[in-house]
Amino acid sequence: MNRVQAFLSILSKDMKTYYLKPPNISWGLIFPLAWTLMFFIRTEGDVDVLELLPGVMGLSILFGTTSMLAVTITFERKQRSFERLLLAPISVNVLMLAKTSGAILFGIANAFVPVLMALLLADLSNVGWLAVLGGVFFISITSTFLGLFIAVSVREVFEAQTFSNFFRFPMIFLCGLFVPIGDLPLFLRPLSHILPLTYGVDILRNGIEHTALFPLWLNFGVLMLFSVGLFGLSTRMIKKRWIL
């Protein structure tokens, strides 16, 4: 019971102090909007909204979650308020799940901004919403845990942002968001297969366009493995590096 209460308190505190702050809400809205408009402007001829949607959704989640973790964890550690949480009678696993849940919810909310826009521009009646929801959920989790891994690997907020970009920008081009993996140079393709977003976007393509590179079970399985691995690695680093 204590664990559930502590979990909910940390989540609600983070929501209040970070995620529901006007700058973050506007950023969560503007960012996907900007991506969508960019592709509308740059694409010659008719824009295939359904083709763009998985990529824009994936990017919105990736950037939203990883940016927020740098603030909610790296900043709190720098301010030493994170020590307060480490001193609480809850395990590091529960603590980090609580700290990351806000980012996961933020990522999910970000993903649906482009969907709302697409509703105005395209027919979404053939979309497999179950797969899309599952995809959004798992992309949010893996991206958040990737952000967590980055946040626990650095000391300063600016380092977290820089280190995030080291992962995020290659993913834009390598994960099949806007350039099909089959069109990439042969030597880059193995990189696509070691990046979690490749599998997440493939789930979204499966649900939205009904085309996919891999079977759904494989995509979900790989994302689960990434999630467990990144979370385990991050909590191990916290125990090793932060409890000196």
Residues that bind other proteins (CB under 8 A): 1-2, 5-6, 9-10, 13, 16-17, 79-81, 83-91, 243-244
* Residue 169 vs 242, nearer CB to other proteins: 242
Task: For other proteins, give the closer residue by CB, 129 or 242.
Answer: 242
CB of 1 to other proteins, least distance (A): 7
Q: Is the Cβ of residue 16 or residue 210 nearer to other proteins in the bound state?
A: 16
Give the DSSP H or E segment for 68: helix 49-69
Using alpha carbons, list the distances in angstroms from residue 109 to 51, 86, 114, 135, 233: 20, 29, 10, 13, 26
Q: Taking the complex as a whole, how short is the minimal distance between the CB of residue 243 and other proteins, in angstroms? A: 6
Residue 21 host element (H or E): none
Q: How far is CA 172 from CA 32, 54, 160, in A?
A: 14, 12, 18
Tell the smallest beta-carbon distance from residue 226 to other proteins (Å). Answer: 29
Name the packing angle between helices 196-208 and 49-69 (round to 10°). 140
Q: How far apart are CA 151 and CA 112, in angstroms?
A: 25
Find the shortest distance in angstroms from Cβ 45 to other proteins.
Answer: 48
The amino acid at residue 225 is L
Phi, psi of 156 (to 5 degrees): -110, 155
Q: Which is nearer to other proteins, 3 or 193 (CB)?
A: 3
Q: Least distance from C-beta 105 to other proteins, angstroms?
A: 19
Task: Report the residue number, 186 or 243, with the smaller CB distance to other proteins.
Answer: 243
Kindly state the smallest distance separating residue 80's Cβ from other proteins, in Å: 4
Residue closer to other proteins, measured from CB, 96 or 139: 96
Distance CA 199, CA 215 (A): 10
Find the shortest distance in angstroms from Cβ 204 to other proteins: 35
Nearer to other proteins, 23 or 190 (CB): 23
Positive or negative torsion for Cα 42, 167, 202, 97: negative
Q: What is the DSSP string of 161-203?
A: HHHHHHHHHHHHHHSSSSS-GGGS-GGGHHHHHTSHHHHHHHH
